[in-house]
Amino acid sequence: MSSKEPVKLRIPRQDLQEFDFFPLSAEAARQWAHALPVTSSSQVAQQLRAVLAQLNRVELAPELRFRILEELRPALLVTTASLSRRFLKQPLVMPEEPRQMAELADLLHTLAGTAYTIVAIQAIQRRNSIREVNAARLACESIHRAIRFAGARLLQTFQLYRPVELRGWLALHQLFALAEGQQLSQLNVEDELSGSGTITTAYLQVLMLGCCKPNQLRQSDLTAIYRGLQEWSAVLKIQRDADPNSLFLIDLDSDLPALYSQLYQDAPGPRTRYINTRPLTEHLEKLAAQNDRQGVVFDKDTVVSPALLNHLIASLSKMSMRNFTRKRMGKTMWVAMGLSACHYYLAGEKSFEQLLHGDNYLPTPAERVGGNVFMERPVSGDVWQQANPEEDFSGDSYARGNDEFAHEVQVDRETLAALDALDGGAEPPSPQHHPAHSVTMFDASPGGYCLEWTAELPGSVKTGDIVCVREDQNTHWALAAIRWMSQLENSKTLIGLELLSPGAKPYGARMQQAVKGEETEPMRVLLLPGIKLVGQSPTLITPRAGFRERQKIILSRQGEEFYIQLTRQVAITGAFVQFEFRYIKQLGEVLAEDKSRPRDASFDSLWTNI
């Protein structure tokens, strides 16, 4: 093993003489780990934190330190996974307890990565004194483990939409530089717990995650991509020399993620490396073609959807630049979240029924069941009736009045009116049902807005959600989508909105069932008018489920009804789908056009003869 360039890894001094938790042996570490209270992940995490923090400061032979860490690692991985379930899928501005769990998991990743880094450095420095194991293999496995923990920490950072901490990227780069300098980066490492592979593939897994615009993705999407990159990174190579297809560049001595090589202005240094992502994008395109419907499924909770594959291909195949400059603002903006709220405000604060049937629409008593289960019609037969068909009780004779118990209940008009009023009829939706939130506009551009989000605002927002916005002192609502989120160091949360349309129109959409020919209940959709100046066709925003390409639907609102066919899906997020469509002429329209044509003389003579 040899090294030409110094590395800049930081490790604590081993200045402790005693260790308080168990005798310093692999067997004692195994027994201690087995005795941990597995029912309390937070308590286990606190004990592991204390053990790792003290273990990193105790002087040990590198091979013994590695064996102790290997005994603790299963409990460590289980605990961090359990902690993640307590702080993921939380409000954007997390409550105190989930925030503490996130900080504890981050600390465990840091301590474990540092512990394996100590082993790697000391294995290289003391390689002549190591007798029980191969020093090169010990260093290689330790660097691989350290990169895995650094990657888990960066994944958590991206999932919480936080900036990478100081020296976060530098520590990762320097681990790879250490392996590269010792000619260990291409050696295969077997690891049943975190995944086998080389140091290069583990390093590229983290780098590519940072290149796929993680602030535009949901937490589950990031988990799925990171899992996929564990395998897909094997098709990539890290090159010392640039070529025309080298999209990304890494400076191993910098604290920066992978950058677009075309934008790098400095002269390449001795530790400048290049990545050609074309083999990876070609591999992803093949996967997209093979799995055009369900995507890539790793398990029931880890799926790279077709839309996510397309996002990856777009992110890793070409340089993406901002089209518009941002202008700092301090205005107030009103935001309503979700398709129902957007539909309500874009309809002029009308309910869905009022949009379809008119402002004076009032549901019939049969429609206004109001959650009364006794007034709802059963979807299927009675289970007891199915269980004992020979003992079915028929109430037909009672209904016809042929029994002595048949009777009627007479109700006066006043009582009937009162019963109709209390029939569960819901009041028309109001702004209280679809609240609009006042938000500070951080900056703006012709393509969208950047908003400051505070703890008082809804915390369940996610990338891909649809919103409608209007500036203060303006009555016009525009349609937008949340494209990215970022939590800053000063506790601010920024949300980036992409403007979809300044004038979306709300409609109800009904689908014709292919088997029965019946129309389904209307669903909320939004029509985005086309823009002839830029050649943009009109599109339709629909809910995530229920709509597909080539489907024929009826769009309606009061006084309007027309038929369309969805032709091409142009966008999909976790909350909505966007389709291009074409209008379909109905039989009445065709006949109306035929009336304007001249009659055929031959048919005229025929009618004369008759």
Predicted confidence at residue 590, as pLDDT, reads 53
* CA gap 258, 275 in Å, rounded: 9
CATH number of 327-348+431-501: 2.40.10.220
Name the DSSP letter for residue 453.
E
Tokens of 430: 């109001």
Reported confidence tier of residue 560, pLDDT bands at 50, 70, 90: confident
**pLDDT value, residue 431:** 63
DSSP 58: B
Count H helices and E strands in the chain, helices first: 17, 21
Strands 448-453 and 493-501: antiparallel
Output 413 or 358, whichever has higher pLDDT.
358
Are 48 and 108 contacting, i.e. CB atoms less than 8 angstroms apart? yes
Alpha helices in 160-213 (DSSP H): 168-181, 199-211
Q: Lowest-pLDDT range, 323-332, 374-383, 426-435, 601-610?
A: 601-610
Cα–Cα distance, 97 to 87 (Å, whole number):
8
Handedness of CA 553, 556, 562, 564 (dihedral sign): negative
| Residues 199-214 pLDDT 10s | 999 999 999 999 999 9
Please give the pLDDT value at position 161: 92
pTM: predicted TM-score of the whole model, two decimal places: 0.81
- Architecture in CATH for domain 505-593: Beta Barrel (2.40)
DSSP 213: -
Encode pLDDT of 46-64 as tens digits: 999 999 999 999 999 999 9
Average pLDDT, the chain: 83
Non-local CB neighbours of 180 within 8 Å, separated by 6+ positions: none
Residues of the chain with CATH 2.40.10.220: 327-348+431-501
Lowest-confidence segment of 248-252, 298-302, 556-560, 606-610 by average pLDDT: 606-610
What pLDDT, in 10s, does the model give residues 424-434? 444 555 666 78
Q: What DSSP string describes 505-532?
A: EEEEEEEB-TTT-PBPPPEEEEEE--BG
Which stretch, 393-397, 421-425, 517-521, 559-563, has highest mean pLDDT?
559-563
Give the pair of three-digit tokens for residue 140: 């290689």
Q: How far apart are CA 80 and CA 99, in angstroms?
A: 14
Q: Is the confidence at residue 183, as pLDDT, over 90? A: yes
pLDDT (average), residues 361-389: 51
d(CA 235, CA 220): 24
